[in-house]
């Protein structure tokens, strides 16, 4: 019978992440980490370490150095009655300078490779297992294999929507049932930017890092549910309506383009998708005569039918016209999908499917929403093509 297990990140979770730890003299165990692993051992819970070691690809140290570090850690843990059942590491990185390791790999987190290997070697039920780590890549790994992600690290570093703990010891207490996790709604996305930058390249690097962190907070199961709603709507020839304000309006308009033109390309599927944000004459007439809060709801009243789909895009999730449209659609038997950010607001709670981005920066949230919009359209398109057609088409 498969059993639940715990997959642990290494640097920042078990030992201090001082940057590319490739020698024994740089190994410093985090307080309580060895005792936490010993507690898992006593409870009969299999433990695997899954760690990215891009330092090999970047030429900072070699495979033998990683193995020596692990040998040292094994000995030190054994002195305190703890052990790890399986050690896995990924030495690959596409930007590496060591030719043998300078490539992409499904083993590199958030890719699923190491988790799948651990599951097979230790006979784990990954859907009942935990992945514990300090980075968005660990959260991504958990979501890639259906495991439960747990974040460890200082306050403000957590991934929105993921149970967060100060260290591995606290996370293990939760796993073993001796502690409770903080309520997700009490977690706040870290402020970005948190300080002034004096160079655009520095800001650019920080922005990309924040975008990666924020996108890792997206629950991909919600994306899968959204894709099923869209495919089902196209199967029954239902209409899909999209709406948003400001930058979110442009995403709604772009969504119409990708689903009417893009999805049809190579599939022959004709979809009825409409952005409620695009008709300035109708939009402004409703806003002027009835009020801005009615601009989307009023259009739905005239054009939507039960079984049609509503997609709302709202960074705050609080815009009255968005919330009114969601409420009207729900009351009239329309499946609803919301793309939100910040705390998510009423839109996050009221939509049937909520694709939430845990960031408090409008640009980052909108960039992530745009990516979600694109990946949904591309997924729907390729799901209606033959394997040969997918390979031959440009996406």
The strand pairing partners of 274, in sequence order, are: 241
Any idea what DSSP says for residue 80? T
Active site residues: 9, 11
Residue-level pLDDT at 195: 86
- Judge whether residue 184 has pLDDT over 60: no
- Judge whether residue 191 has pLDDT over 90: no
Residue-level pLDDT at 185: 44
Residue 161 Rama label (left phi>0; alpha psi -120 to 50; beta): left
pLDDT class of 243 with cuts at 50, 70, 90: very high
- Judge whether residue 170 has pLDDT over 90: yes
Q: How far is CA 286 from CA 105, 258, 317, 331, in A?
A: 52, 27, 21, 21
Average pLDDT for residues 359-380, to the nearest whole number? 96
Lowest mean pLDDT among 78-92, 119-133, 157-171, 289-303: 157-171
pLDDT class of 155 with cuts at 50, 70, 90: low
pLDDT class of 186 with cuts at 50, 70, 90: very low
Mind listing the pLDDT tens digit for each residue in 255-306? 999 999 999 999 999 999 999 999 999 999 999 999 999 999 999 999 999 9
Strands 309-314 and 336-340: parallel
- Judge whether residue 152 has pLDDT over 70: yes
Residue-level pLDDT at 154: 78
pTM for this prediction: 0.58
Q: Which residue has the tokens 């150095």?
A: 65
Percent of the chain whose pLDDT exceeds 70? 95
CA pair distance 172, 163, nearest whole angstrom: 12
Percent of the chain whose pLDDT exceeds 90? 85
Mind listing the pLDDT tens digit for each residue in 62-103? 999 999 999 999 999 999 999 999 999 999 999 999 999 999
| Mean pLDDT, rounded, of the chain | 93
Residue-level pLDDT at 326: 96
Torsion 97-102-108-114 (CA) sign: negative
Structure-model confidence comparison of residues 34 and 153, the more confident one? 34
Torsion angles phi and psi, residue 349, rounded to 5: -80, -30
Mind listing the pLDDT tens digit for each residue in 134-146? 998 999 999 999 9
**Domains of the chain with bracketed CATH:** 6-187 (3.40.50.1000), 220-392 (3.40.50.10490)
């Amino acid at each position: 019978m498969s059993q639940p297990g715990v997959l642990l990140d290494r640097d920042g979770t078990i030992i201090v992440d001082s940057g590319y730890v490739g020698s024994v003299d740089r190994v410093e165990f985090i307080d309580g980490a060895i005792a936490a692993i010993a507690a898992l051992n006593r409870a009969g819970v299999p433990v695997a370490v899954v760690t990215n070691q891009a330092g090999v690809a970047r030429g900072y140290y070699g495979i033998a150095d990683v193995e020596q570090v692990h040998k040292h850690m094994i000995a030190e843990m054994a002195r305190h009655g703890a052990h790890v059942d399986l050690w896995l590491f990924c030495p690959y990185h596409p930007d590496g300078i060591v030719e043998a390791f300078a490539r992409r790999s499904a083993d590199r987190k958030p890719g699923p490779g190491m988790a799948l290997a651990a599951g097979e070697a230790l006979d784990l039920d990954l859907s009942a297992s935990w992945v514990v780590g300090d980075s968005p890549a660990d959260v991504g790994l958990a979501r890639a294999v259906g495991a439960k992600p747990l974040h460890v690290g200082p306050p403000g570093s957590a991934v929105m929507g993921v149970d967060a703990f100060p260290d591995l010891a606290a996370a293990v207490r939760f796993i073993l049932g001796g502690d409770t996790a903080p309520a997700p709604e009490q977690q706040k996305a870290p402020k970005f930017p948190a300080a002034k930058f004096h160079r655009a390249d520095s800001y650019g690097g920080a922005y990309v890092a924040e975008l990666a962190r924020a996108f890792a907070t997206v629950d991909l199961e919600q994306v899968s549910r959204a894709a099923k709603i869209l495919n089902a709507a196209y199967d029954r020839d239902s209409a899909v309506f999209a709406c948003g304000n400001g930058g979110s309006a442009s995403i709604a308009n772009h969504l119409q383009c990708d689903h009417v033109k893009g999805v049809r390309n190579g599939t022959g599927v004709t979809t009825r998708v409409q952005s409620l944000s695009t008709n300035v004459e109708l939009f402004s007439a409703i806003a002027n005569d009835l009020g801005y809060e009615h601009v989307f709801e009023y259009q739905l009243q005239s054009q939507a039918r039960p079984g049609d789909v509503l997609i709302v895009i709202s960074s705050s999730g609080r815009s009255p016209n968005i919330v009114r449209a969601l409420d009207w659609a729900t009351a009239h038997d329309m499946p609803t999908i919301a793309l939100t950010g910040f705390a998510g607001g009423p839109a996050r709670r009221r939509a049937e499917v909520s694709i939430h981005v845990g960031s408090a920066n409008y640009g980052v949230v909108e960039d992530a929403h745009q990516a979600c919009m694109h990946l949904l359209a591309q997924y729907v398109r390729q799901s209606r093509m033959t394997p040969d057609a997918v390979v031959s088409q440009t996406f």
